[in-house]
Structure 1
Amino acid sequence: MRDTFWQLVRFGIAGGLATLCYAMVYSPLAAFKITSEQVANICGYLVAMGSGYVLHSRWSFRGHGADAKSSMPKFFAVSLVSFALNTFWVWLLTDDAMLAGAWWWPLVPIALVTPLVTFALNRLWVFA
Structure 2
Amino acid sequence: MTIPTTQCSVQIQIWVDTNAIQNGSTRGVYLVDNRVTSGGQNEGSANLVTSCTQDSYVCWQILTVDPNASASVQIQSIGSSNAWGPSGQPQVASDNPNAFTGQAQNPGSSSYQLSINVTAGGGSGTTVILNPGMNVQAISRRTAA
| Higher-Rg member (1/2) | 2
The structure carrying a bigger strand percent of its residues is 2
TM-score > 0.5, shorter chain as reference: no
TM-score w.r.t. the length of structure 1 is 0.31
The structure carrying a bigger helix percent of its residues is 1
